[in-house]
Amino acid sequence: MTITEYYKILELPLNASEDDIKRAYRKKARLFHPDVNHSAGAKDMFILVTEAYDFLISHHGKATAGERSYEQIMEEWRKYRQDRTRQRARAYSDSSYASFKSTSFYKSTRILDGTTIIISFAMSVMVFVYTIFGFFFRLKHPADVAEKPPIFTFLFLLTLSVILFTVSFIYLRSFIRQSKKRKKGSA
């Protein structure tokens, strides 16, 4: 196999980003996993798709066809990793799709979109602040003088906002770590 053939297997252009590769792999893995697709060639295609993904992710941006280092990368790939990747892909194809999705390999194809994560984090902060501000505003300015805002509702909303904040913070921290790893890897 060559780099261009691996890109063709995933139906990607040669200048595809890592996120494009991950998206294409997730789509193809779902399409060809033998637990989902029962056609005769599905298992072989799943193995090829997994091999293509593993190669492209591990060698993304390192060399393109025609460069001198390309030959070295391809030779090292054939010697050391290609067979192991195929064996792992066979094992994944023999398992159920649900158990394949729970593997660390499949989970590594998740895409953390920075914009979505940052917006989610900002929204969680706004919900938290609004919950606290709204409660104390209602205490000082009740709609009905005899009625105070229910403490249960406040505690419930505060708990939900803390959970939302915590989850969005974890995703934000993970996104920042992945961004730093990518920068170190490309440097």
pLDDT digits (tens, 9 = 90+) for 161-173: 999 999 989 988 8
CB 137 within 8 Å of CB 111: no
My answer on whether 24 and 68 are in the same domain is yes
pLDDT of 69-96, one tens digit each?
A: 777 777 787 777 888 888 888 888 888 8
Identity of residue 136: F
CA 172 to chain centre: 13
Q: What is the DSSP letter of 77?
A: I
Q: Which domain holds residue 76?
A: 3-107
Q: Count of alpha carbons within 13 Å of 65, Cβ hemisphere only?
A: 10
pLDDT of 111-125, one tens digit each?
A: 666 777 888 889 999
Domain boundary among 77, 107, 137: 107
Q: What is the pTM of this model?
A: 0.59
My answer on whether 103 and 124 are in the same domain is no
3-state SS class at 87: helix
d(CA 56, CA 65): 13
Q: Count of alpha carbons within 13 Å of 54, Cβ hemisphere only?
A: 22
Supply the CATH number for residue 71's domain: 1.10.287.110
Mean pLDDT over each residue of the chain, to the nearest integer: 83
What integer pLDDT is reported at residue 4 of this predicted model?
A: 82
Domain boundary among 54, 77, 107: 107
CA distances (Å), origin 120, targets 27, 114, 146, 165: 25, 10, 37, 9
pLDDT category of residue 137 using cuts at 50, 70 and 90: confident
My answer on whether 61 and 76 are in the same domain is yes
Which of the listed ranges 19-28, 98-107, 141-150 does the model predict with the highest average pLDDT?
19-28
My answer on whether 65 and 34 are in the same domain is yes
Phi-psi region of 61 (alpha: psi -120 to 50; beta: other; left: phi over 0): left
My answer on whether 77 and 43 are in the same domain is yes
What integer pLDDT is reported at residue 46 of this predicted model?
A: 93
What integer pLDDT is reported at residue 140 of this predicted model?
A: 84
Query: Looking at residues 132-154, what average pLDDT do you find?
Result: 80
Contacts of 132-139 with CB under 8 Å at 24 or more apart are 132/158
Number of domain units in the chain: 2
Structure-token pair, residue 105:
């390999």
Query: Residue 178 pLDDT > 80, yes or no?
Result: no
Q: What is the DSSP letter of 106?
A: H
**Least confident range of 37-51, 91-105, 106-120:** 106-120
d(CA 154, CA 106): 40
What integer pLDDT is reported at residue 182 of this predicted model?
A: 64
CB 126 within 8 Å of CB 157: no
My answer on whether 80 and 137 are in the same domain is no
My answer on whether 88 and 141 are in the same domain is no
My answer on whether 103 and 120 are in the same domain is no
What integer pLDDT is reported at residue 88 of this predicted model?
A: 87
